[in-house]
Structure 1
Amino acid sequence: MSDSGNWCLIESDPGVFTGLIKGIGVSGIQVEEIYSIDKETLEDLKPVHGLIFLFKWQGHDPAAQSSNQAPIVYDESIFFAQQVIQNACATQAILSILMNSPAIDIGEELTNFKAFVSDFPAELKGHAISNSDVIRTVHNSFARSDPFVNDMHDPDAKEKEDLFHFIAYTPINGNLYELDGLQEGPRNHGPCPGESWLEKVGPIIQERMAQYAGGEIRFNLMAVVDDRTKVYKERLATYQAQLETLQKAEGPEAGSWLKGEIEHLEQGIKKEAEKTLKQQRENKLRKHNFVPLIYELLKGLAQQGELQGLVEEGRTRAKAELESAKQRKAAAVAAGKDVDMEDA
């Protein structure tokens, strides 16, 4: 796999993914992190266009050990790109859903890109993504600001870091597909009429998780859904119209359940506005370089003659904590207890 082009690592965060989607020109769509695949959770998020699953990469696909491994299907009507660039799997998982969901307006940029690569084989589609200035620039705009370590590639890293990989699940032409850029093609998990794919995908993801050794809990699941504020406002308008009609027929006291639903939706709209502002702020903080601020603070403390004292105080405190840890360890050993203390 090539590392040319320097694609940064993308944090598995719904605010980052939503910002990335908006950055490449797609509106009316957002990403929600989900902690359960139960019917009630997914019902509240409908319509769900696809799921993005993050798992620890072990140099092979654990799902390949499954006896129920879905077959790879080569279908020209499916947008599928092989991953040919390091760290691009997050964006490719997003594109796998956006490009294969007819209900999503992908905008002018992606529409033109999709038309341009429509006849390309999967590998060339991957190269086209890596060479897209727009997609790469938006992707890299979510790189964490770090003046000391290049998080795109650190050749001096002595310890091997865990690698994580994003894949996508989405319904296409009445079938549930698994789109993984490290595979040769899309995997067809079988028919799923309507929105039944949400019931079908749960056991598949759970089976993938079960392939890992016990103790591995670092998984993440996000849903690509319609803009929640838009959905809530549409429902609110419907309920308000129903309430008005009902009260005209039965009086102002009628429709208590509708009033409850309206209040619930109004609260939902307020929470979405607050969440959006929070995500925007967090995305700005991710990109901000705080080193100059830290430098000025240390410089100010030094000029006031306070820095040296704080440094000595820190050293004294660190020595005291280390000595305390050693004493606790010695006491535990003397008592014949097992010791597992990182600070010792």
Structure 2
Amino acid sequence: MAAENPAAGTTEEVDGDWCLIESDPGVFTELIRGFGCTGAQVEEIWTLDADAFHHLEPIHGLIFLFKWVDDKPAGRVVTDRSDIFFARQVISNACATQALLSLLLNLRHADIDLGQTLSDFKSLCQDLDPGTRGHCLGKEEKIRKVHNSFARPVLFQLDPLPCSPDDFCYHFVGFMPIKGKLYELDGMQEGPIELAEIGQQQNWLDVVRPFIEARMERYSVGEIHFNLMALVSDPQRSYERQIQLLVHQPSPLSHAERRLEIATLREFVKFEEEKKRRYRQENTRRRHNYLPFIIELLKQLGETGQLMPIYEKAKQRALQSEERCKSAPNQPQPQ
């Protein structure tokens, strides 16, 4: 699902367009790689059950896509926390990258290296106010280029229309623990939203879950237009480190147990390698411009007299399907 900036009609103009980004773990993982950050990736979460979070831990932050409504924040908006990196969103369609950067630039973990581009950007903006940081992001060509590498090819460029109250506008926000408190990082706000204290014995995921559930409950029955993803350490690195320890360090395991554990970990590594290969393949397809092929195919079908028969056949199937819907009992009529 692609996301729109919900305030596209009200944000300030910043040089350079930013494309819509699909809410997909492979896309966000490649954004991380493109920014030069290593040791992190994004995983999709299909359920809010605790077990769904447990096997991904450590989870450093969550990225939530939802149908945006202009509503009061769920907690206190803080504007006096210079130790939290927060940038206001002044760029249309940039909320995906902003949500991801909000997590990465507040993250301190031995597994994850921000890389030169993000480290330089954070250093440049560290002492600036959130609005100026947003403008700096709009001028950061390296980050914008990576973001726009997922721009979909279009045959015609239409003038953009401002969002109306009836439009379906979607928005990305981030959730993460920072110094013992849970924050929502939403670029449409004036600052980070302080949601709750996190007790010393609490898992922050248990604290954030009710807030996400409450956000989902705002939707009408049957609404599924939301998506949740987790920012995690690259599990392949963890598995490879465990293999090295089993191979080179003393272990209480017997030789047979050690061999079995190594074999299991190597299967996990293969699974992660295959997942990354699949992500690369899917992203290649996302970026490929199929329009010339489609136009040429339609042209060839037209020249050989095959286009209109195909069209008529498809039209007939559609009419038959509509008739079946009308005649089926207890079925809603097409609108």
Scaled to the shorter chain, the TM-score interval is 0.7 to 0.9
Using the TM superposition, give the Cα deviation of residue 227 of structure 1 relative to its aligned residue in structure 2, in angstroms: 1.1
Confirm or deny: 8 A CA contact 1:243 1:259 kept in the other structure: no
**One-letter amino acid of the structure 2 residue matched with residue 2 of structure 1:** E
Report the secondary structure of 1:170's partner residue: strand
> CA 1:131–1:298 in 2, change beyond 3 Å: closer, same or farther?
same
Counterpart in 2 of 1:177? 183
Counterpart in 1 of 2:12? 2
Report the secondary structure of 1:177's partner residue: strand
Using the TM superposition, give the Cα deviation of residue 47 of structure 1 relative to its aligned residue in structure 2, in angstroms: 1.8
Counterpart in 1 of 2:139? 131
Unpaired runs of 5+ residues, structure 2, are 1-10
Q: How do 1:1-344 residues align onto structure 2 when only pairs under 5 Å count?
A: 1-4=11-14, 5-58=16-69, 60-61=70-71, 64=73, 69-73=74-78, 74-103=80-109, 104-149=112-157, 154-155=160-161, 161-192=167-198, 193=200, 196-240=203-247, 246-247=253-254, 252-253=255-256, 255=257, 260-302=260-302, 305=304, 308-323=305-320, 325-326=322-323, 329=326, 331=327, 337-342=329-334
Percent of residue pairs bearing the same amino acid type: 42
Using the TM superposition, give the Cα deviation of residue 240 of structure 1 relative to its aligned residue in structure 2, in angstroms: 4.7
> CA 1:197–1:287 in 2, change beyond 3 Å: closer, same or farther?
same
Confirm or deny: 8 A CA contact 1:30 1:227 kept in the other structure: yes
C-alpha distance after superposition, 1:116-140 (max 9, x if no partner): 1111111111111112111111111
For the residues of structure 2 that align with 1:341 and 1:261, how far apart are their CA atoms? Answer: 58
Q: Is the helix fraction higher in 1 or 2?
A: 1
**One-letter amino acid of the structure 2 residue matched with residue 139 of structure 1:** H
**One-letter amino acid of the structure 1 residue matched with residue 130 of structure 2:** A
For the residues of structure 1 that align with 2:268 and 2:50, how far apart are their CA atoms? Answer: 20
> CA 1:200–1:261 in 2, change beyond 3 Å: closer, same or farther?
farther
Using the TM superposition, give the Cα deviation of residue 95 of structure 1 relative to its aligned residue in structure 2, in angstroms: 0.7
For the residues of structure 2 that align with 1:35 and 1:169, how far apart are their CA atoms? Answer: 17
> CA 1:328–1:295 in 2, change beyond 3 Å: closer, same or farther?
closer
Report the secondary structure of 1:19's partner residue: helix
Report the secondary structure of 2:195's partner residue: strand
CA root-mean-square deviation: 2.7
For the residues of structure 2 that align with 1:196 and 1:133, how far apart are their CA atoms? Answer: 38
**One-letter amino acid of the structure 2 residue matched with residue 127 of structure 1:** H
Confirm or deny: 8 A CA contact 2:58 2:232 kept in the other structure: yes
Confirm or deny: 8 A CA contact 1:145 1:286 kept in the other structure: no
For the residues of structure 1 that align with 2:91 and 2:100, how far apart are their CA atoms? Answer: 15
Report the secondary structure of 1:7's partner residue: coil
**TM-score for both structures, normalised by structure 1:** 0.84
**Alignment length, in residue pairs?**
320
- Look at both structures and tell me which one has the larger radius of gyration over its CA atoms: 1
**One-letter amino acid of the structure 1 residue matched with residue 281 of structure 2:** R
Confirm or deny: 8 A CA contact 2:302 2:308 kept in the other structure: no
> CA 1:229–1:299 in 2, change beyond 3 Å: closer, same or farther?
same
Q: More deviation in 121-130 or 188-197?
A: 188-197
For the residues of structure 2 that align with 1:94 and 1:156, how far apart are their CA atoms? Answer: 25
